[in-house]
Amino acid sequence: MQVITLTTDIGQQDYLVGAIKGQLLSVDPVLHIHDITHYLSPSNYPQAAYVCSNAFKYFPKDSFHIIILNLFENEAKHILIAKYRDQYIACPDNGILTMIAGEKPKEMIAIDISQQNTLLEFTEKIAQTIGKINAGSTLASVGETVASINEKYPLRATIGNNWMEGQILFIDQFENVVINISKAEFEEQRNGRQFKIVFKRDEVIDTFSNNYSSVFEGEKLAWFNSAGYLEIAINKGNIAGLFGLQGFNEKMQQQNVVNQNKWFYQTVRIFFEQRGKN
């Protein structure tokens, strides 16, 4: 049976999520529909990519993932549907596809929505397309080929000889803070050296924990989470709220003096001990 996921920024206070599920079930009443989240930040693409890429990879082959993010930022002329690593992804052409995949998928089509004006008109087109694919149609036969799309790519850490600086990628409901530094990236740069994780100018963590219970209640810790990314937290505390840490905002890169101090609340720097130091 076809598995479908929904990931959106529309919340669940009104009827829209239920209506979208109704559209999908009207196409095929035996679809298995699962919610990832409906509380994405419309303007935070790195956060959305982190959530989607790390959830999607656990779903069965040929699952269909529908993403509604910042749909009305610009006039929408088409919806993209791509097949990537044996998963289908349907999303606006606003850069979120390449943020999730890390590349431009080779199998990809565009569904014309130039005559649609509302969210439910857009999702109705997606539902109809899913129905055709479930009935045996190939991806190429249900839409138009598209050569050029809006491309955005994940944030990468800045690297120096004895340091690396990452951006705050995600803050969860417990206010634990995820940094855009993977374990593989960290170990490559560390190269066996000792380290200090520094945030908000002078807060330091210099060891890794296996999990939250590895430190006493109220103590800071760092570890690599289930997605393989660096995470800093306080055991039974709220590190983001306590230290005023914030999700990284790309627009900050275009602003200087006014927001200079805010930079320290959106980034984390790691210093490595220089070789030969006693």
Residue 256: the pLDDT is 44
| Tens digits of residue pLDDT in 35-74 | 999 999 888 899 999 999 999 999 999 999 999 999 887 7
Number of compact structural domains in the chain:
2
Q: Examine the domain organization and report whether 214 and 111 are in the same domain.
A: no
The CA-atom distances, in angstroms, between 59 and each of 11, 62, 87, 146, 227 are 23, 9, 8, 26, 15
One domain for residues 129 and 50: yes
- What CA–CA distances, in Å, run from 233 to 39, 178, 179, 210, 221? 22, 9, 11, 12, 5
Residue with tokens 């803070």: 177
Token pair 């990314």 in the structure block, residue: 229
- 173 shares a domain with 123: no
Q: Do residue 88 and residue 122 come from a single domain?
A: yes
Q: Determine the Cα angle at 198 with ends 244 and 176, to 5°.
A: 45
Q: What is the pLDDT of residue 251?
A: 52
Q: Name the residue range of residue 258's domain.
A: 158-272
pLDDT for 277: 53
Q: How far apart are CA 14 and CA 6, in angstroms?
A: 16
Q: Are 230 and 168 in contact (CB under 8 A)?
A: no
Q: What is the CATH number of the domain that holds 56?
A: 3.40.50.10790
Strand partners, 205: 197
Both tokens assigned to 222? 């760092």
pLDDT score for 154: 83
Q: What pLDDT tens digit does each residue of the chain (278 aa) get?
A: 689 999 999 999 999 999 999 999 999 999 999 999 999 988 889 999 999 999 999 999 999 999 999 988 777 788 999 999 999 999 999 999 999 999 999 999 999 887 878 999 999 999 999 999 999 999 999 999 988 999 998 888 999 999 999 999 999 999 999 999 999 999 999 999 999 999 987 899 999 999 898 999 999 999 999 999 999 999 999 999 998 888 876 554 444 434 555 556 788 999 998 755 55
113 and 24 share a domain?
yes
The rounded distance, in Å, linking the Cα atoms of 124 and 112 is: 12
Q: Helix or strand or coil: residue 111? A: strand
CATH number at residue 190: 2.40.30.90
Residues 6+ positions from 138 with CB-CB distance below 8 Å: none
Q: Would strands 203-205 and 195-199 be described as parallel, antiparallel, or unpaired?
A: antiparallel
Q: Does residue 278 lie within any of the structural domains?
A: no
Last residue of a domain, one of 123, 145, 167: 145
Give the pLDDT score at 254: 45
Q: Can you give the pLDDT at residue 249?
A: 62
The answer on 257 and 221 residing in a single domain is: yes
The pLDDT of residue 276 is: 58
CA angle 246–251–255, rounded 5-degree value: 100
Is 150 inside a domain boundary?
Answer: no
Q: Encoding tokens for residue 74?
A: 């610009």
Question: What pTM was estimated for this model as a whole?
Answer: 0.88
Q: Is 62 left (phi over 0), alpha (psi -120 to 50) or beta?
A: left
Tokens 């030969």, residue located: 276
Residues paired with 182 in a beta bridge: 229
Report the greatest alpha carbon distance in the chain.
Answer: 70
Domain end marker among 89, 114, 145? 145
Same-domain pairing of 169 and 250:
yes
Whether residues 141 and 163 fall in one domain:
no
Adjacent-strand bridge partners of 92: 79
- In this structure, the answer to whether residues 137 and 164 fall within a common structural domain is no
Same domain, 7 and 120: yes
- Please check whether residues 87 and 168 belong to one and the same domain: no
**248, 211: one domain:** yes
238, exposed or middle or buried, with CB in 10 Å at 0-12, 13-18, 19+? middle
Whether residue 229 is contained in a domain is answered as yes
Rg of the chain on CA atoms, in Å:
21
* Half-sphere exposure for 226 (CA within 13 Å, toward CB): 7
pLDDT recorded at residue 246: 85
Cα-based distances in Å from 222 to 171, 208, 211: 14, 5, 9
